[in-house]
Amino acid sequence: MENILTINNLTKKFGALTAVKDLSFTIKKGNVYGILGPNGSGKSTTLGIVLNVVNSTSGSFTWFDGNTSTHQALKKVGAIIERPNFYPYMTAEQNLKLVCKIKEVSDHKIDEKLETVGLLDRKNSKFKTFSLGMKQRLAIASALLNDPEILILDEPTNGLDPQGIHQIREIIKKIAAKGTTILLASHLLDEVEKVCSHVVIIRKGVKLYSGPVDDMNKSFGFFELKSEQKSALLIWLSKQNTFKDFKEEEDNKITAFLAQELDAESLNRQLFEEGIVLTHLVKRKESLEEQFLQLTNNLN
Amino acid sequence: MLRLLQIEFIKLWNNKSSKFLILCYFGLLVSIALFASIKFNIGPIRFHLAEMGIFSFPYIWHFNTFIAALFKLFLAIIIVSMVANEYSNKTLKQNLIDGLSKKEFILSKFLTVLAFSAISTLFIFVVSLLLGLSFSDFNEVGIIFRDLEYLIAYFIKLVGFFSFCLFVGILIKRSAFALGFLFMWFIIAEIFPYIYLMSKYSKEFADKVFAFSPFGSMWNLIAEPFTRLNAVKSIASQVGEEVNRDFAVHWYELLIVLGWTSIFIFLSYYLLKKRDL
């Protein structure tokens, strides 16, 4: 598969602070990537480096297998970094015309893209009169003007109201459905979980994981169990090596983490044979949030 | 190259205040023609500026470029703000993300500086030519097109000055502070030391030193034209002062200003390249 972006041992130091440390990963065409990390973990710095606005201390990155210079490559990229930045005194249309000039594409797609983000009726309004949600949507329209190979979004829903967040997510889903490669940086895990197929997790500038969302944690899931014979159940669990860990929750529920594959039916049968009757049995996979917390906590 | 100029044109022309200032500037250039209408009568003495010979070829080239160069302060505001606003609106960051290289960014600003200077030079050429044709005593082609080097000096003077503005805009990142810095530089780095050198050593020595400073070298390009006027000369000789100045444009003066221009543009690029946005 074609590589869109390759990052090799990228490091960025701000004085004594190391914002990004020896980071390497590859973005391949057609996938939707999420860069996850708590605030200040180096997500934006990494994106800043590959987008030509931050100088790296060491390491390198190449766009499109290194066939073009960075600024030429960026013409095939659509990117939104943190806040939307446009000329406040210019209208939506004038701003987009300027972007077309910079990207060297014709400006006949302006109306179409404004339509995509629902701003066509405001195209002659000045940028400064826009609400934050509209500004963000204009930024997306601007990023789409060149029908980019990859769309980079850095915290696209930050600071928006629920309606705005919903609109942005719908737009992202629509774009992802067309097969555009997307790189989404966020600290909102459900956002990433909903749209991404691959994740890169960084904390304090260090990569913890990169790969498909499903392989993120070699986890077999966990059971939520309830029984009137709680003590017997606990004793039984402690004897099993199919479970690596278990804990009692406050509502008499027991959460038991699997160390190997086991389905709910066989567990139920085994317990019944031991004379333990369950009142509650649920098998679950960890959500991305739980996996993320586990992964980041493991290193603490 | 045309693309870079178009980009800058979109940015400037859609901004009401820039547009206003640009129009004001060119309006002011035309207003030089108003000198022609300065007339007053003091008792028996009739004074008509246009008849004093200021609009005679080839002197008009010297006089008009000198006066017009004073108006460049207007455009300085535009140049400084067109750079500093890119920082305060964070549009510089967006431009780079959209695929403008840092070199292209500086180039687009510098080309704008060249364009402004060229248009201004052309403007002053046309205005002077028309004024000269209507008021000059000599209208032979050979005389009309003598001393055109003042126009070259004028062009270089503007380019040098605007490049300085460009650099300060990038250095300071805030228009108001950048303009303040230019003013402070003028007073503290050039006027005060000049006065100091002049009083401690001699005017000649101070002149020599400041022929190499940014503002000093630009000032030197076009010598003040007033003492060259016959009327002023005759008054001076009546009070026993012999005016014997060198009014010509010298190649080494042009070279110094061009040197500063390249230093400013290079430093602007270097700063932009080194900075994280």
Per-residue pLDDT tens for A164-189?
A: 888 888 888 888 888 889 999 887 77
With a cut of 70, say whether residue B241 has pLDDT above it.
no
Whether residue A188 is found in the same domain as residue A236 = no
Which residue reads 């302060």 in tokens?
A: B73
Please indicate if any CB of chain B lies within 8 Å of the CB of A225: no
With a cut of 80, say whether residue A32 has pLDDT above it.
yes
Do the chains contact at A94 and B14, CB–CB below 8 Å? yes
- Domain limits at A241? 222-284
Where residue A209 sits, what CATH number does that domain have?
Answer: 3.40.50.300
Please indicate if any CB of chain A lies within 8 Å of the CB of B14: yes
Residue in chain B closest to A152 (alpha carbons) equals B97
* Alpha-carbon gap, residue A86 to A99, rounded angstroms: 10
* Alpha-carbon gap, residue B185 to B213, rounded angstroms: 11
Rounded alpha-carbon distances, angstroms, from residue B6 to A102, A125, A188, B63:
10, 22, 40, 34
CA A216 to chain centre: 13
Residue B244: its pLDDT value, please? 65
Q: Point out the least confidently predicted range of A17-31, A48-62, A261-275, B237-251.
A: B237-251
B101/chain A closest Cα distance in angstroms: 5
* Alpha-carbon gap, residue B266 to A123, rounded angstroms: 39
Please indicate if any CB of chain B lies within 8 Å of the CB of A89: yes
Asked, for residue A289, whether it belongs to a domain, the answer is: no
Q: Which residues of A touch B14 (CB under 8 A)?
A: 87, 89-90, 94
Whether residue A197 is found in the same domain as residue A242 = no
- Domain limits at B102? 2-274
Q: What is the pLDDT of residues A1-28, one digit of tens each?
A: 588 999 999 999 998 999 999 999 999 9
- Which of A160, A193, A215 delimits the end of a domain? A215
* Alpha-carbon gap, residue A166 to A184, rounded angstroms: 16
Please indicate if any CB of chain A lies within 8 Å of the CB of B104: yes
Picking from B11, B90, B104, the nearest residue to A98 by CB comes out as B11
Asked, for residue A181, whether it belongs to a domain, the answer is: yes
Q: Say if strands A198-203 and A32-36 run parallel, antiparallel, or are unpaired.
A: parallel
With a cut of 80, say whether residue B126 has pLDDT above it.
yes
Please indicate if any CB of chain B lies within 8 Å of the CB of A128: no
Residue B243: its pLDDT value, please? 60
Asked, for residue A167, whether it belongs to a domain, the answer is: yes
Question: Long-range contact list for B5-8, CB < 8 A, 24+ apart?
Answer: B5/B108, B5/B111, B5/B112, B5/B115, B6/A101, B7/A98, B7/A101, B7/A102, B7/B100, B7/B108, B8/B82, B8/B108, B8/B109, B8/B111, B8/B112
With a cut of 90, say whether residue B32 has pLDDT above it.
no
Picking from B11, B91, B101, the nearest residue to A71 by CB comes out as B101
Whether residue A131 is found in the same domain as residue A54 = yes
* Alpha-carbon gap, residue B213 to B230, rounded angstroms: 32
Q: What is the pLDDT of residues A128-157, one digit of tens each?
A: 999 988 999 999 999 999 899 999 998 888
Residue B197: its pLDDT value, please? 92
Please tell me the pTM assigned to this model: 0.86
Confidence of residue B73 (pLDDT cuts 50, 70, 90): confident
Whether residue A89 is found in the same domain as residue A233 = no
Do the chains contact at A52 and B101, CB–CB below 8 Å? yes
Picking from A79, A85, A89, the nearest residue to B15 by CB comes out as A89
Number of domains in chain B: 1
Cβ–Cβ under 8 Å, residues A117 and A140: yes
Residue B224: its pLDDT value, please? 83
Asked, for residue A48, whether it belongs to a domain, the answer is: yes
Where residue A231 sits, what CATH number does that domain have?
Answer: 3.30.70
Residue B172: its pLDDT value, please? 94
Q: Which residues of A touch B3 (CB under 8 A)?
A: 101, 104
* Residues forming beta bridges with residue B176, ordered by sequence position: none
Residue A79: its pLDDT value, please? 92
Residue in chain B closest to A128 (alpha carbons) equals B89
Confidence of residue A38 (pLDDT cuts 50, 70, 90): confident
Asked, for residue A268, whether it belongs to a domain, the answer is: yes
- Residue B229 is given by DSSP the state S
- Which of A180, A199, A215 delimits the end of a domain? A215
Q: Which residues of B touch A97 (CB under 8 A)?
A: 10
* Alpha-carbon gap, residue B16 to A111, rounded angstroms: 25
Confidence of residue B242 (pLDDT cuts 50, 70, 90): low
Q: Point out the least confidently predicted range of A272-281, B38-47, B88-97.
A: B38-47
**How many C-beta neighbours within 10 Å does residue B41 have?**
9
* Alpha-carbon gap, residue B277 to B87, rounded angstroms: 9
ipTM: 0.85
For residue A48, what is the enclosing H or E element? helix A43-50
Please indicate if any CB of chain B lies within 8 Å of the CB of A17: no
Residue A221: its pLDDT value, please? 81
Confidence of residue A299 (pLDDT cuts 50, 70, 90): low
Picking from A48, A89, A101, the nearest residue to B16 by CB comes out as A89
Which residue reads 């086991």 in tokens?
A: A262
Q: B21, B94, B105, B111: best mutation site toward chain A, by most A Cβ within 10 Å?
A: B94
Asked, for residue A161, whether it belongs to a domain, the answer is: yes
Please indicate if any CB of chain A lies within 8 Å of the CB of B6: yes
Q: What is the pLDDT of residues A69-97, one digit of tens each?
A: 888 999 999 998 878 899 999 999 999 99
Q: What is the pLDDT of residues A202-243, one digit of tens each?
A: 888 888 888 887 777 666 788 888 888 888 888 888 888 888
Cβ–Cβ under 8 Å, residues B86 and B30: no
Q: Which residues of B touch A81 (CB under 8 A)?
A: 93-94, 97
Here the tokens at position A216 are 């993120």
Q: What is the pLDDT of residues B170-211, one digit of tens each?
A: 999 999 999 999 999 999 999 999 999 999 998 889 988 899
With a cut of 60, say whether residue B247 has pLDDT above it.
yes
B98/chain A closest Cα distance in angstroms: 6
Number of domains in chain A: 2
Burial (Cβ within 10 Å: 0-12, 13-18, ≥19) of residue B209: middle
Residue in chain A closest to B15 (alpha carbons) equals A89
CA nearest neighbour of A102 among B165, B5, B127, B129: B5
With a cut of 60, say whether residue A300 has pLDDT above it.
no
Whether residue A208 is found in the same domain as residue A247 = no
Residue B264: its pLDDT value, please? 97
Whether residue A207 is found in the same domain as residue A229 = no
Rounded alpha-carbon distances, angstroms, from residue A18 to A41, A56, A300:
10, 11, 18
Do the chains contact at A53 and B93, CB–CB below 8 Å? yes
What's the whole-number average pLDDT of chain A?
87
* Alpha-carbon gap, residue B55 to B34, rounded angstroms: 12
Asked, for residue A300, whether it belongs to a domain, the answer is: no
Whether residue A205 is found in the same domain as residue A230 = no
Asked, for residue A150, whether it belongs to a domain, the answer is: yes
Cβ–Cβ under 8 Å, residues A91 and A124: yes
* Alpha-carbon gap, residue A152 to B97, rounded angstroms: 10
Whether residue A37 is found in the same domain as residue A111 = yes
